[in-house]
Amino acid sequence: MDQAFLDKLNLNLDASGIFLLAITVLAFLIPVVVILPPVGLQKSDALIQTHTKAGVEGTKSNLRNQFSDEHAPQAGKPPRVHSLVIYPIKSCKGIELTRSKVLPSGLQFDRLFTFAQLKSPFPVSVDSTDEEKSKHKWEFITQRQFSRLANVTVDLWLPDEMKLRKQSMKTKEAFLIVRFPWKEDGWRGVFSSITAKLARGRSAEPEIEVLLPVDFPSQAEIKENGYTFEEVRIWRDTVTALNMQKELPGELQRYLGVSNKLALFRIDPDRLREVHRCAPTKEEAGYQPVTGFQDAYPLHLMNLNSVKEFNSEVPKDETLKELNVLRFRPNIILSGAEAYDEETWKQIRFKPGSSGLYNDVVFHVSCRTVRCKLPNVDPATGLRHPSEPDKSLRAKRAVDEGAPLNGCLGMQLTPLFDPSLGEDREAWIAVGMTVEVEQRGHHVYIKQ
């Protein structure tokens, strides 16, 4: 028989055998991978055994219909709370809630942490003097400088009594899971993409998770974990807070694009920032108003109809279709109020309405929110628009004589509490509560 024919036959047999072997292996492996995917356990996989993730899932969000006409004012009906949002880490993604505890510093769990970068006018070496080193200052960062903060997701996990009972465990400790996109180069990146999709669906991308305690650490925990108390600057204020940078993976700094040293600060509940300027005085409020890592006041209120009215005046393009209210980082989002009516409010009372709560909660409406360029960042993508809505805010919403060069949208609030509560100042606010305007007046912003 011809040798060339034999060689060709052997080649075909080898190729067929390899093909059949590959099919056999795949037929065995695919069901195994589907049932037992090669995905490492995440920190959230462990927490789900004892804790429940707080917040409203995206498919059930009250903000899905934020552009609907149903939010228009209705004759004889008061405005109402449509949504609540907290931001445990300043400038990162928020968590939508249906109810929240109100503390003197704002909504519970709001702005407990901030990222900060170490800024200095010159490099420091080991031979630098103490005076030179002292000029290096930690300064908070936001989406204004690092728009990818919008893509950093923060999940709040609260202890679940039912789950704990099943596990025969006890704990009151809550946790944050911080997640950000991260894909390595080469085959590792390909593998992480595959495992992410197997674990969380076809649209999932690889992420890195960071676990943080919500409660302020004890002195023993501070020492054990190597945390330090340091000063951090937030706008014109400087506050002593807990530096927890040891918890941050190096990938986060690279993802955000921060060239300076990056740290995470936790506000010290015993060193909250005092709020003055437009806030009620200590005598008027019955306590000294305070805040954590919020910009200036404890809470931020937005009116959907004001956003809708302003949205109609903002030029649109391919990257800016609508102004999502979340661009403006609100805590309390109202429905059913006349556009810009909130700018005449001086004191408001939230009443139970359909919320299921039983007590009122009162707020001093301290001032307008003077806007920076942060709303130019799309909260869904982390992409920054080159001019809007900042340009339109300055052109259309320069309405406060105290800030004539800036646009204003939204109102800053300070909580007021029943004096009978003494030092135990807290209340509750929930979706469905109605708004009663107790005092109206003129607002003039006071700069820092």
Q: Please say if the pLDDT value at position 362 is more than 60.
A: yes
Q: pLDDT confidence of 358, banded at 50, 70, 90?
A: confident
Q: What is the CATH number of domain 52-111+272-448?
A: 2.40.33.20
Which residues are CB-contacts of 129 (< 8 A; sequence separation ≥ 6)?
none
What phi and psi values does residue 138 have, to the nearest 5 degrees? -75, 135
How far apart are alpha carbons 299 and 25 in whole angstroms? 59
Tokens matching residue 414: 């300070």
- Please give the helix or strand (H or E) that residue 219 lies within, else none: helix 219-225
Which residues are CB-contacts of 25 (< 8 A; sequence separation ≥ 6)?
none
- The structural domains of the chain, with segments of one domain joined by +, span 52-111+272-448, 113-122+130-266
- Which residue from 325, 339, 333, 337 is spatially nearest to 396, judged by alpha carbons? 339
Mean pLDDT of 209-237: 97
Q: What is the pLDDT of residue 95?
A: 99
Q: Please say if the pLDDT value at position 230 is more than 70.
A: yes
Q: What is the pLDDT of residue 166?
A: 84
- Exposure string of 178-195, with b = 16+ CB inside 10 Å and e = fewer, is bbbbbeeeeeeeeebeeb
Q: Please say if the pLDDT value at position 141 is more than 70.
A: yes
Q: For 159-177, write each residue's pLDDT tens digit.
A: 998 888 888 788 889 999 9
Q: Please say if the pLDDT value at position 9 is more than 50.
A: no
Read out DSSP for 388-447?
Answer: TTHHHHHHH----TTSTTS-EEEEEEEEE--GGGTT---EEEETT-EEEEEEE-------
**To the nearest whole number, what is the mean pLDDT of the chain?**
89
Q: Which residue has the higher pLDDT, 160 or 125?
A: 160
Q: What is the pLDDT of residue 190?
A: 63
Q: How far is CA 273 from CA 232, 241, 289, 371, 425, in A?
A: 12, 11, 9, 21, 17
Give the residues across from 264 on adjacent strands: 115
Q: pLDDT confidence of 184, banded at 50, 70, 90?
A: confident
Q: Please say if the pLDDT value at position 131 is more than 80.
A: no
> Would you tell me how many other CB atoms lie within 10 Å of the CB of residue 366?
24
Mean pLDDT of 433-443: 98
How far apart are alpha carbons 223 and 264 in whole angstroms? 17
Report which residue type is found at 401. E
Count CA atoms within 13 Å of residue 86 on its CB side: 27
Q: Please say if the pLDDT value at position 244 is more than 80.
A: yes
Cross-sheet strand order for the sheet of 51-53:
51-53, 153-159, 175-181, 207-213
Q: Please say if the pLDDT value at position 125 is more than 70.
A: no
Q: Please say if the pLDDT value at position 85 is more than 60.
A: yes
Tokens matching residue 32: 């195994």
Q: Is the pTM of this model over 0.85?
A: yes
Beta strands in 87-174 (DSSP E): 95-97, 99-103, 106-107, 113-119, 137-140, 153-159
Which residues are CB-contacts of 343 (< 8 A; sequence separation ≥ 6)?
368, 399, 408, 411, 443
How far apart are alpha carbons 122 and 132 in whole angstroms? 9
Q: Please say if the pLDDT value at position 17 is more than 60.
A: no
Answer for the pair 342, 411: CB distance below 8 angstroms, yes or no: yes
Answer for the pair 113, 267: CB distance below 8 angstroms, yes or no: yes
Q: What is the pLDDT of residue 36?
A: 46
How far apart are alpha carbons 84 and 309 in whole angstroms? 21
Q: Please say if the pLDDT value at position 189 is more than 80.
A: no
Tokens matching residue 398: 């320069």
Q: Please say if the pLDDT value at position 439 is more than 90.
A: yes
Answer for the pair 268, 399: CB distance below 8 angstroms, yes or no: no
